[in-house]
Amino acid sequence: MRCRRIGLRRKLVPYIEGQLVPLASRRLEKHLRRCPECRAEFARLRDGHRLAQRLSFLHPGDTPAAPAFAAFEIAEMNTQRRGGWFWQRWFDVLTMPRVVPVLAAIVVLQLALLLISNRTALIQGRGGAAMKPAALDISRFQTVSISDLPTNTLPHVATEGYVRDVRIDPEEKTLHFILSQRPEGPGPFVVCEIMNPGGIAVPREGSRVRVYGVARYDGQAGREWHELNPVLDIAVLKR
């Protein structure tokens, strides 16, 4: 970032020539300790000042000695291009015949590790919140009938019923269905929500299933129903 302390930058030359009062010198030194841009400018001015001190005094009409001005020009160029030479040296090292195969092998290894990590993340992402049946500890789930959910106080429950009204919420990217205690007609029900539809097989409407999930109550106006959200697993049962 460009340093905007123009007033302090203007004091660099007086500071180098010893013309600042002690208070101003201390203030400038404090700024130089935390501003790399001003430190670089200070180093450039200081080197130029030191070189200028070594030049002989010229009277009007004198011809300057070529070596002195040549040395000054070389010093100035080295100061401006110091960073460029640094990167040029690194480029020369990295393009050596013995180094190129090693760098190529490192790049291939990094790409392989990246592909493996992305594949693992993709597999985990497809599973999402839904747990695979082999990894699901069903002993943690208390079996509760749909009609008893209003009095249930346990978070993890398993309940059975018939699937109807399967739909997908395009905004939330979730799948919802109603699990009814009766195969037809009105009766107790619970709303089931699958957070990641790609992780659990979507049940067919009318099928009888056992749903494992987290029991909640949605008290929003117009809803006010019990739900299993998220659904962690679904087992299809025989009718």
* Assessment of whether the complete model's pTM goes beyond 0.75: no
Alpha-carbon distance of 45 to 101, in angstroms, equals 43
Closest CA to 231 of 124, 129, 127, 153: 129
Task: Give the pLDDT confidence of 155-177 residue by residue, as tens digits.
Answer: 999 999 999 999 888 777 788 99
Residues 88 and 101 in one domain: no
Residue 159 maps to which CATH number? 2.40.50.140
Residues 15 and 68 in one domain: yes
Residues 110 and 172 in one domain: no
Domain count, the chain: 3
Alpha-carbon distance of 72 to 76, in angstroms, equals 6
Alpha-carbon distance of 209 to 97, in angstroms, equals 66
Tokens at 88, concatenated: 């040029």
Task: Give the pLDDT confidence of 1-55 residue by residue, as tens digits.
Answer: 577 777 777 888 888 888 888 888 888 888 888 888 888 888 888 887 777 666 6
Q: What residue numbers bound the domain in which 174 lies?
A: 138-237
* Residue 136 · residue 233 · CB < 8 Å: yes
Secondary structure of residue 151 in the 3-state scheme: helix
Residues 162 and 231 in one domain: yes
